[in-house]
A and B are shown apart, each in its own frame.
Chain A
Amino acid sequence: NAGVTQTPKFQVLKTGQSMTLQCAQDMNHNSMYWYRQDPGMGLRLIYYSASEGTTDKGEVPNGYNVSRLNKREFSLRLESAAPSQTSVYFCASRVVYEQYFGPGTRLTVT
């Protein structure tokens, strides 16, 4: 089992560019999450998906969109990147009480 995988690991964007962060899990979990982590802070929830076909906003959803493509995949899209979106992005999936995190994507917007 690969667990939770994320691509890419690193990305540099210019202001106004768009990109999609990919996340996949092979553990057959229903719930998946996207978080961002800014320097010196804990993780903050951007969007989550309780099951295939459903998505809900988290604490900081502005500037992002998500797609739950199927049970395995949950993507995060930045339509017009801004420097304030420079962060490390974590995808996670959940079974019962434990959340499994991916390795993270370090995104810099210049």
Chain B
Amino acid sequence: AQKITQTQPGMFVQEKEAVTLDCTYDTSDQSYGLFWYKQPSSGEMIFLIYQGSYDEQNATEGRYSLNFQKARKSANLVISASQLGDSAMYFCAMRGVETSGSRLTFGEGTQLTVNP
């Protein structure tokens, strides 16, 4: 079974500062993928970033980077230079290749508020 844990129900950050959203995971799969999605108040799910379990380098996409620490089973999202438009719910998710049938398992989310 797979499990994603996001321990921060809410986070606040000042505009232009960096923020880290925590995510830990548990899986028995050797090969898996980790994802972050953004859900603004309008409700759509927006894909942000992906990290494969065998990727040696941390994934980056513009202002988003994924701090992947395999031994600690953590996959934290770092948002640099926060903008007001970053205020949203953020979900960490994973997909195990061997056991999950390519299904995504989601955490409960972190509500990020960016203050001006």
Contacts and interface: CB of A to CB of B under 8 A. Distances in A.
A60 to B, nearest CB: 12
Residues of A in contact with B, size category: 20 to 34
A103 B44 contact: yes
Contact of B102 (A43, A44, A90, A94): A94
B109 interface: yes
B25 to A, nearest CB: 13
B50 A98 contact: yes
Given A97-B33, A98-B50, A100-B47, A43 B108 contact: no
Interface in A66-101: 88, 90, 92, 94, 97-101
Interface SS of chain A: strand
20 contacts: A33-B103, A41-B108, A42-B93, A42-B106, A43-B93, A45-B104, A45-B105, A48-B101, A50-B102, A59-B103, A88-B43, A94-B102, A97-B52, A97-B95, A98-B50, A99-B35, A99-B104, A100-B47, A101-B37, A104-B44
Please name the 3 residue pairs, one residue from A and one from B, whose CB atoms are nearest each other, closest first: A42-B106, A101-B45, A43-B106
